Structure 1
Amino acid sequence: MGDVLAGIHATWEFETDSVLIRFERGIRTPRLFQALRERRVPHEALTAVTLTAGKRGTVVLHAVPRPGADPLMEAAAGQLKEGCDPYRLVLPADRETLAEYYADELRPLVAADAGPSDGFLVPAPEGPQSFKAYDGRASFDGTAEVAFRWSWTGASSAKWKAGDQAFAVRELSGVEWRSPDVLDGYLRLLRRDRDSGTQPAQADLDPAAVVFGLGYGPVHESLPFAAAVLAAIRDADDDAPAVAVTAGARRDPADIAERIRHLGDLHRAGLVTDEEFTAKKRELLAEL
């Protein structure tokens, strides 16, 4: 192969053993794509290739990643919006025939029947990295340590009491990333010496978590950060059990009630629309 297929926001270069995805830079390109810049995806990291009709006169070439093959998609845990999926190449409809040709060329090369990957096959975003959360700043040196430094304007009294935090990667078992596109997004570090019942349910009370809030911890900063930490955890102990990644645990009813009251306050203040209020309230009630 070795040919290049140019789409909207990205180009795919088809190599003998992989697909090299280069993301465009520009004001209309999703900021996550700009942060990723480029990604080399081995054929063995893919499980299927599809071509479907897109919106407004486009077609979408989708290379479906194998579960467990890409730390970015593992950290996202299904929370990425379609437009931010790095495995979707959107093309004008008049390139459908060309896209079908490349899809046919790629399909026999992917690991269609291989099942979940035992290890990451796609490189994680490079460190060191940092981003500003609502209640502090998160930083990762790229290999060994994750640190949280609390903000005096946003951190809870529980976090101030615990003090700034530093976590050795070897002490972690995984991460839990809840998208900042929802009202209660956060990044939580999961520690090997604790089970899920010993960490506070609320991220704003957990010294091993930072909360995002409106305008803080955007996807293009916090998700590559989470993916890099996840990959470092795997590298730190190749014999460790499979990394646990979830999109957020079921909450205590009292916590749900408090979230709904807070949501109501935002709604009455005009900061949340009727549609957003109804949808978010339904989502919170579903977690009971």
Structure 2
Amino acid sequence: MGDVLAGFHAAWEFESDSVLIRFERGIRTPRLFQALGERRIPLDAIAAVTLTPGKRGTVVLRAVPRPGADPLMEAAAGQLKEAYDPYRLVLPAERETLAEYYADELRAMLPPEDQGPAERYLVQPPEAPMQFKAYDGKASFDGKSVAFRWFWTGASSAKWKAGDQAFAVSDLCGVEWRSSEVFEGHLRLIRREAAVPQPAQPDQDPAAVVFGLGYGPVHESLPFAAAVLAAVRSGGPSALPEGSSSVPAAGTTPGPRRDPADIADRIRHLGELHGAGLVTDEEYSAKKAELLAEL
């Protein structure tokens, strides 16, 4: 088709085999859309097309994603608010006739029958490397491994005992994302080792980071979760942009030494945990020696 239909916050460009969605970067555009930039949705990834009345004199054109086709929507697991749905195009009501035309044209291009859930991801995930700050730590993903570095001001004693974490994509089998806009949001990595049960509470799980007010916002943590999930499901690391840096996995050569002031803060917090009886003498000595070795 090659035509463009512009609405609020986005414009859809209709092509022979896909729909290219370009999101605006205006101040009123949801930050998730700004973070996504643009997304190419293959026609095979669309199950249906709807056109419904919207709020305040608008109509809504929506491409219904096929189950299993988009890692972003799979990671979201139905938790996105309507306004954050990247498959919705909101237009003024006076453009309903035009929107109906494009809806009919798009429907005619879709496969003639329901294809069921996709066997693999058809929509490209966000690209690594990426990172974000959660309440209790900083999460980083380089396409090969996920690293969690704990904040002494927010991490639980269980996470401090475990130490900073790094998980190779090959050691994971899934991702659990809970929106920061609901109570106790978090990002949890699901490990393959059945012999290592994961704590029920994310704040006690070294394979999870928890969110809070201003920490782990949707526009940062959801694309991160989608990128990790796509790498896990592909059976290997996701593509890394040329020149990008990587986060070392467990057992690899460590990177540059950390800031001495940061190490001092960590040792101070470790001493507070020891004084409160939350870590044993042996755990305190071992962790302190580990931190000092990073100087």
Task: Tell me the equivalent position of 1:209.
Answer: 208
Q: Count residues in correspondence.
A: 236
Matches within 5 A, 1:186-201: 186-194=186-194, 198-201=197-200
Give the stretch that moved more between structures: 227-236 or 171-180.
Answer: 227-236
Q: Is the 8 A contact 2:19 2:43 kept in 1?
A: yes
Question: Does the Cα contact within 8 Å between 1:45 and 1:110 map onto a contact in 2?
Answer: no
For the residues of structure 2 that align with 1:127 and 1:30, how far apart are their CA atoms? 22
Q: Cα offset for 1:109?
A: 2.0
> One-letter code of the match for 1:236?
G
Q: How does 1:52-71 map to 2 (within 5 A)?
A: 52-71=52-71
> What is the aligned partner in structure 2 of residue 113 from structure 1?
114
CA distance in 2, matches of 1:101, 1:62: 13
Matched, 1:226 2:197: no
1:133 match: 134
Would you say 1:8 and 2:8 are equivalent positions?
Answer: yes
Write out aligned runs for 1:16-27 (5 A).
16-27=16-27
Cα deviations across residues 119-157 of structure 1 (Å, max 9, x unaligned)? 00000011100000000000000x211000000000000
Report what 2:44 is aligned to. Answer: 44
- 1:218-275 Cα offsets, whole Å, 9 max, x none, are 000000000000011122259xxxxxxxxxxxxxxxxxxxxxxxxxxxxxxxxxxxxx
Bigger radius of gyration among the two: 2
Q: CA deviation at 1:198?
A: 1.5
Q: Find the residue that maps to 1:198 and give its secondary structure.
A: coil
Q: Deviations over 1:45-93 (max 9, x none)?
A: 0000000000000000000000000000000000000000000000000
Quote the sequence identity (%).
77
**8 A contact 1:71–1:228 mirrored in 2:** yes
Superposition pairs of residues 82-161 of structure 1, within 5 angstroms = 82-111=82-111, 112-141=113-142, 143-161=143-161
Supply the distance in 1 between the matched residues of 2:177 and 2:95 (Cα, whole angstroms): 36
- Check conservation: 1:183, 1:214, Cα contact below 8 A: no
Deviation at 1:194, TM superposition (A): 2.5
2:171 equivalent to 1:174 = no
- Structure 2: distance between partners of 1:36 and 1:172: 25
Alignment partner of 1:29 is 2:29: yes
Partner Cα distance (1:108, 1:99) in 2: 14
SS at match of 2:174: strand
- What's the C-alpha RMSD, in Å, of the aligned pairs? 1.3
TM-superposed deviation, 1:8: 0.1
Give the TM-score normalised by structure 2. 0.78
Alpha-carbon distance between aligned partners in 2 of 1:127 and 1:217, rounded to the nearest angstrom: 17
Structure 2 unpaired stretches of 5+: 238-295
- Quote how far apart the aligned CAs of 1:108 are: 2.2
Q: TM-score, normalised to structure 1's length? A: 0.80
